[in-house]
Structure 1
Amino acid sequence: MAFESSLLFGIYSQTKQSLQGGVQSSRPQPQVIIPSAAFAGAIISFVLCPSELVKDANSRLQVTGAFRGGSTTFLRESIGNAVFFSVYEYVRYYMHLQLKSGSSDHNNLVDMGIGILSGGLGGVAFWSTVLPLDVAKTIIQTAPDKSSPTNPFQVLNSIYRMSGLRGCYTGLGPTILRAFPANAAAIVTWEVAMKLLGIKNN
Structure 2
Amino acid sequence: MMENTTQSSAQKANPVKSFIAGGFGGMCNVIVGHPLDTIKVRLQTMPLPLPGQSARYKGVADCAVQTFRKEGIRGFYRGISAPLMGVTPIYAVDFAVYAAGKRLFQSDDNIALTYPQIFVAGALAGVCSALVTVPSDRIKVLLQTQTVSSGPVLYHGTLDTAIKLYRQGGIKSLFKGTCACILRDSPTGFYFVTYEFLQDLARKKSQTGKISTASTILSGGTAGMVFWTLAVPFDVLKSRLQSAPEGTYKHGIRSVFRNLMANEGPKALFRGIFPILLRAFPSTAAVFFGVELANDFLKA
TM range (shorter): 0.7 to 0.9
- 2:200 alignment partner in structure 1: 93
Q: Which residue in the other structure is 1:179 paired with?
A: 280
* Aligned residue identity for 1:91: L
Tell me the CA shift for residue 75 of structure 1. 1.7
Give the corresponding residue for 1:125.
Answer: 226
Whole-angstrom distance in 1 between the partners of 2:108 and 2:260: 47
Bigger helix fraction: 1
Residues 141-165 of structure 1: CA deviation (Å, up to 9, x unaligned): 1222425144435523432443333
Q: Secondary structure at the match of 2:108?
A: coil
Letter in 1 for 2:117: V
Distance 2:180 2:110 in 1: 34
Correspondence list, 1:13-162, <5 A: 13-22=99-108, 24-26=110-112, 29-55=114-140, 56-57=142-143, 60=161, 63-64=168-169, 65-77=173-185, 79-97=186-204, 99-101=205-207, 107=210, 110-146=211-247, 148-162=249-263
Q: Deviations over 1:104-135 (max 9, x none)?
A: 8xx4xx52121111100111111110111111
Alpha-carbon shift at residue 178 of structure 1 (Å): 1.1
CA RMSD of aligned residues (A): 2.4
AA of the residue aligned to 1:39:
L
Q: Which runs of 5 or more structure 2 residues have no equivalent in the other structure?
A: 1-86, 147-154, 156-160
* CA distance 1:41–1:185, shift in 2 (3 Å): same
- Summarize the Cα distance change of 1:116–1:162 in structure 2 as closer, same or farther, 3 Å threshold: same
* CA separation of 1:25 and 1:138: change in aligned 2, threshold 3 A: same
Structure-1-length-normalised TM-score = 0.82
Q: Does the CA contact (< 8 Å) of 2:199 and 2:216 recur in 1?
A: yes
Which AA in structure 1 matches 2:198?
V
Q: Report SS of the residue matched to 2:102.
A: helix
Cα separation, partners in 2 of 1:33 and 1:150, compared to 1, 3 Å: farther
* Corresponding residue pairs, total: 191
TM-score normalised per structure 2: 0.57
Structure 1: how far apart are the matches of 2:106 and 2:255? 38
| 1:8–1:41 contact (8 Å) kept in structure 2 | yes
Work out the CA distance in 1 between the residues paired with 2:254 and 2:231.
12
Give the deviation of 1:174 after TM superposition. 0.9
2:217 is paired with a residue whose SS is: helix
Match of 2:92? Answer: 6
Shift in alpha-carbon separation, 1:82–1:150, aligned structure 2, 3 A:
farther
